[in-house]
Amino acid sequence: MIAGIDVASILLGGIAAGTVLFIVSVGLSVTMGLMGFINLAHGAFAMFGGYIIVLAMNRAHFGFTVALALGFAATAALSVVLEQFLYRRLYRAGELDQVLLTIGLIFIFMAALTIVVGPQSQPLQLPPELGGQINLGFTQYRTYSVFLIVVGFFVVAGIWLAFERTRIGAQIRATVDNRRMAESLGINVDRLFTITFAFGSGMAGLGGGLGAEFLGLDPQYALKYLVYFLIAVSVGGLGSVVGVYYASLLLGALDFVLKLYLPKGGTIFIYVLTILLLLWRPQGLFGRKAT
Amino acid sequence: MSTEAVPLPPVAATPGLDQPAARVLMWRHHLRWWEALPWLAAVAFYFIFPDYLGFATALLVTILFALSLDLALGYAGIITLGHAAFFGAGAYTVGLLAFHGIWTEPITSLALAALAAAVIGFASGVVLLRTQGLTLLMLTLCTMALLQEAANMAHDYTGGFDGLPSLDIAPLFGFFEFNPLYADTQYLYTLAILLVCFIFIRTLVYSPFGQSLTGIRENPLRMHAVGAPVRRRLIICYTISGAIAGVAGGLWAQTNAYVNLSALDLDRAATVLIILILGGYGRLYGAFVGAAAYLALEHFLARIYPTAWQLGLGLLLVIVALYARNGLLGLGEVLWQRYFVRRAAT
């Protein structure tokens, strides 16, 4: 078994899983860093987007790209509505109320999807050009995983550029560093938050669809992977895009390797590492400020 | 935030014990007439519904678990998503001792369960309580997940995913048969344990120690400034809360005669949090109201319409988070004040 699966394949598989984790979690990191809002329903947004994407392909027979765009747009739109009517009221409330609200939203999403679509798992039909294997020169590997890694690389590069080189990115960084100061300088933090929240939720929806192939997609999704999203965010550091990218890749690769060699209870190492890391650096690996 | 948060009386006013704030502080620990109601109801239930004692026992265990969380979350303001860690520690202590035939006497088993949970509470408290906010939330969550994975891995001792079935518990006081067939014994036993723990918690939260916990919840910086040993108090509170959660877990294992990984689930931790907030936290009786309302609804709705129950629960949580932050008890209090107090005033 060890001889059959070489190091490169393990790395590729882990990085592909980590990429999906990153695409889902990056929005959570930025919005939590901006507003300090503990949004446990982020996984539910990912699930919602995943359902839109998979259903658009399976039932309405849209193409893969169109379905992805649709999933992004639908999730972003829904998140803006929820943000305006529900989240906005609890910005200044305690963490407990935020946790309660977002757990409630998770239940609502899970029940609604069970009622509307059904309790069974929704399979993602990959387009034929992403099926099969691809020859990378040094090894043969699944085309879809390679596609995911490339997409993830462009996403992180794009978001990084937007963060470092655009006006709105500068505003986000300023607000994460010191919200009061940013507000005093005339940055409209509420509007900024709405924009980033919509974008981050849209990304989560995208990630839900892209990852449906190996994470599965059923109404339990929102709770099942919540701990992983939260670990990626808290280890990477709130409000840090690059931090979440590294943390996600690390988590994905570690999970992949552990599932392979220690299928029973290997995840215990992930929890131990997370606890140790958070004790060492409570703000995460790349966190900008102590939370 | 909650009505328990009474502002400290100004120093200059200390001689004037007729100040409203001073009067509240002097009288708040006195027993009210309605505090007998839950216990009378529990005794009445025993005689009126002898067929539902199994359900009622589960309710009492849940109340105790929610009470332990109230101590940490409601009074000390420690926001945790991993309280099932202590519940599970207690449950597995009882389960392992009974399954391997080491110790089966019920009351001392519970004491051992409390001890085991307290050790875990102390050890994790020393390490975790330096953090707050999201980091604390994540650390409590990971600690619980860690224990669950450990219980899963130690398959040879804990039975792993299948758990430990058909535990043999020795007769209570060496006389009363103890297994799920004798629901009345289990019910009265659980009720007695709950009463003892409740009296302990009630005394604790109204003691100077409990007052300082409330102070830490409301303003840790000011408590530091007045010289209170904030971290030490939080650790002690977390340990005691863990021990009581361990008792609840032990009772759960004893009355069900099995233990499995669900004792350490995120589901269980989230449910007890929901129950406590639904009833109203930081007010002791919130645990009673929340657990009764939740379990009754779940008992009747969840079996028939599981999806509708989930949807309804979600909507209820959103409404409570937005409009009724002090839970059902807080809502009742507001209505009571609006209706009776205003009427009395006019």
**For B69-104, how does the pLDDT look when each residue is reduced to its tens digit (9 = 90+)?**
999 998 988 888 889 999 999 999 998 888 887 787
Confidence of residue B344 (pLDDT cuts 50, 70, 90): low
Angle at B312 between CA B307 and CA B318, to 5 degrees: 130
Confidence of residue B252 (pLDDT cuts 50, 70, 90): very high
Query: How many Å lie between the alpha carbon of A233 and the closest alpha carbon of chain B?
Result: 10
Query: How many Å lie between the alpha carbon of A238 and the closest alpha carbon of chain B?
Result: 10
Instruction: Determine the pLDDT at residue A58.
Output: 86
Q: Any idea which of A10-24, A264-278, B137-151 has the lowest mean pLDDT?
A: A264-278
**Per-domain residue ranges of chain B:** 34-345
| Residues of chain A contacting B133 with CB distance shorter than 8 Å | 36, 95, 291
CB contact under 8 A, B138 and A98: no
Q: Which of A202, A179, A178 is nearest to A189 (CA)?
A: A179
Q: What DSSP string describes A151-198?
A: HHHHHHHHHHHHHHHSHHHHHHHHHHH-HHHHHHTT--HHHHHHHHHH
How far is it, in rounded angstroms, from Cα B139 to Cα B124? 9
| Residues of chain A contacting B141 with CB distance shorter than 8 Å | 227, 230
Q: Which residues contact B290 (CB under 8 A, 6 or more apart)?
A: B66, B274, B275, B276, B277, B278, B279, B280, B327, B328
Instruction: Determine the pLDDT at residue A71.
Output: 93
Yes or no: say if A24 and A229 are a contact pair by the CB < 8 Å rule.
Answer: yes
Q: How many CA atoms lie within 13 Å of B330's alpha carbon, on the beta-carbon side? A: 19
How far is it, in rounded angstroms, from Cα A160 to Cα A169? 9
Q: How far is CA A157 from the centre of its chain?
A: 16
* B260 or B325, greater pLDDT: B260
Closest A-chain CA to B318: A101
CB contact under 8 A, A282 and B135: yes
Yes or no: say if A228 and A20 are a contact pair by the CB < 8 Å rule.
Answer: no
Q: Is A142 helix (H, G, I), strand (E, B) or coil?
A: strand
Q: Which residues contact B210 (CB under 8 A, 6 or more apart)?
A: B75, B204
pLDDT digits (tens, 9 = 90+) for B284-301: 888 999 999 888 888 888
CB contact under 8 A, A104 and B316: yes
CA B220 to each of CA B130, B228, B264: distance values in angstroms, whole numbers, following the listed order: 12, 9, 30
CA B267 to each of CA A232, B82, B145, B198, B316: distance values in angstroms, whole numbers, following the listed order: 21, 10, 11, 25, 17
CB contact under 8 A, B139 and A90: no
Q: Which of A233, A224, A235, A230 is nearest to A275 (CA)?
A: A235
Yes or no: say if A146 and A136 are a contact pair by the CB < 8 Å rule.
Answer: yes
pLDDT digits (tens, 9 = 90+) for A179-196: 888 889 888 888 888 888
Query: How many Å lie between the alpha carbon of B328 and the closest alpha carbon of chain A?
Result: 14
The CB density around residue A140, as the number of other CB atoms within 10 Å, is 11
Closest A-chain CA to B144: A271
Q: What is the CATH number of domain B34-345?
A: 1.10.3470
Sign of CA dihedral A136, A142, A147, A148: negative
Cross-chain CB nearest to A105 (options B146, B270, B318) = B318
CB contact under 8 A, A104 and B155: no
Task: Name the pTM for this structure.
Answer: 0.85
Q: Does residue B14 surpass a pLDDT of 60? A: no
CB contact under 8 A, A101 and B316: no
Cross-chain CB nearest to A101 (options B130, B139, B321) = B321
Q: Which residues contact A276 (CB under 8 A, 6 or more apart)?
A: none
